[in-house]
Structure 1
């Protein structure tokens, strides 16, 4: 039995006259994803939200519950036309969050805990407009993946593996935080993102090492594998994107891979993410019909 992506969607904030909302963007991506799969909101049993940056620096209640309400997923499991309980939770691990959610989803789907699982990833500047803050690197955007079981065990996700950089002193090389000394009365609309010099190079090197290690462990032929990485997504994001994709990068990369021309003799995909830590994660994926 394989765990496959039934549908994927993205949503990007482009209206400069209204503030961006992680809840709104995640909800838009989720609804588009469900519409593409022709699945009603009540057909989703579990929602995992993996975004990090939110409007007004909101951390409670869990944004997953707000996204669940926005999408209309099992709000009243007694009155709903398809009565069933719904469950949602936040899972925060930066750029690797989507693959962490896939790993959790594999367990939930394999045990029959749910028939369908929805992953949402949305990041917005707490002030509502990432483009207005030159020191904030990420885009106001969201992505969503709908996962289900498939009868063919040869399709879907392989194991998810996580990797850390050797020789680090334990200090995180990237961090987003509230600077209490400078935020003043506008703290809910500000965020400080700190990156140590050479972060991008270290993340790229770790991602390359992770791909090589994963391929060796599982016998992947990289000449026949399309690697879906965060920089791939950044190079061909949706129209209007300003800044880097963050937690939604794997969704953007996956959409690009499916929308593009399939390389000759390509057997499948390999998702790779890399970010704060530095840390990386990999998971192979074979779409249905490949």
Structure 2
């Protein structure tokens, strides 16, 4: 049994669309591309971090589920089944974590499909000049398949001491305007150190799994416009189709891997490589790798 990506969907950068709306738009596009019935989705995981109005409850996944109309109230929509929907937040590595969790659940629980969604945006629902993360959305629909294709291995590593990018809400500073404000603070040399740390994680992953770099294409996080390119040059793994385009959009945070997968799987050369190497990298320092055989 394998876990494959059945379809992808994105909501391209638009500063006037909120995080949740970006996630919903990407999910709808993904479901339309897959041509599956809503009631055939068993699991929904949201990995977006920054939320409309700094929402804490309910889970954003539940709001997305409701907007999409997936297996709603069994009293009014008696479909004889339910969907498990929850949020999973681990910054830029969140989508990779969700892929690992969803893959395990699909294999162990007799479920068939999982919708993984992310959306990022300023809590005011409009782009702020001080907010470094681009408003965008991405979604992946994964399902059980047969054969060797699909996700095979995941690994995650974190540094001993924290360094990274942190979202802070100062209630005393913003007062009654707190719901529509956030400060994103970044440690000095964060991206530089993250690049070195991630390079080491990738090299260990390649060595442990005895992978030939020439067989792989890289889909990476984008804490800055050079990160993926630098990682590619340091590790010797070529960039997947469309990764450079996503990098130019800016720091897409949790949506980066979904955006990258969307374009990589549409490679006009027919994915000449044997596998995609997904690499998430963010605060912690935390980096993760996931191998997807094509």
Q: Please give the TM-score of this superposition, normalised by the length of structure 1.
A: 0.89
Q: Which residue of 1 aligns with 2:60?
A: 63
Are the equivalent residues in 1 in contact too, given 2:162–2:285 (CA < 8 A)? no
Asked whether 1:252 is paired with 2:243, we answer no
Asked whether 1:163 is paired with 2:157, we answer yes
Deviations 1:152-175 (A, max 9, x none): 1x110012110123xx4x334221
Quickly say closer, same or farther: Cα 1:222–1:13, change in 2 above 3 A. Answer: closer
Asked whether 1:137 is paired with 2:128, we answer no
Q: CA deviation at 1:40?
A: 1.5
Q: Which residue of 1 aligns with 2:34?
A: 37
Quickly say closer, same or farther: Cα 1:41–1:263, change in 2 above 3 A. Answer: closer
Structure 1 gaps of 5+ residues are none
Q: Which residue of 2 aligns with 1:10?
A: 10
Are the equivalent residues in 1 in contact too, given 2:5–2:140 (CA < 8 A)? yes
* SS of aligned partner of 1:273: strand
Q: CA deviation at 1:104?
A: 0.7
Cα RMSD between the aligned structures?
2.1
Q: How many residues align?
A: 276
Q: CA deviation at 1:257?
A: 1.4
Q: Which residue of 2 aligns with 1:119?
A: 116
Asked whether 1:217 is paired with 2:208, we answer yes
Q: Which residue of 2 aligns with 1:279?
A: 286
Find the aligned partners of 1:161 and 1:251 in 2 and give their Cα distance. 18
* SS of aligned partner of 1:236: helix
Quickly say closer, same or farther: Cα 1:234–1:194, change in 2 above 3 A. Answer: farther
Find the aligned partners of 1:25 and 1:83 in 2 and give their Cα distance. 30
Deviations 1:147-201 (A, max 9, x none): 101111x110012110123xx4x33422101023421321111111111111111
* SS of aligned partner of 2:254: coil
Structure 1, 78-87 or 20-29: larger mean CA deviation? 78-87
Quickly say closer, same or farther: Cα 1:194–1:27, change in 2 above 3 A. Answer: same
Q: CA deviation at 1:13?
A: 5.1
* SS of aligned partner of 1:271: strand
Q: Which residue of 2 aligns with 1:199?
A: 190
Q: Please give the TM-score of this superposition, normalised by the length of structure 2.
A: 0.87
Structure 2 gaps of 5+ residues are 223-227, 229-241
Quickly say closer, same or farther: Cα 1:15–1:227, change in 2 above 3 A. Answer: closer
Are the equivalent residues in 1 in contact too, given 2:243–2:264 (CA < 8 A)? no
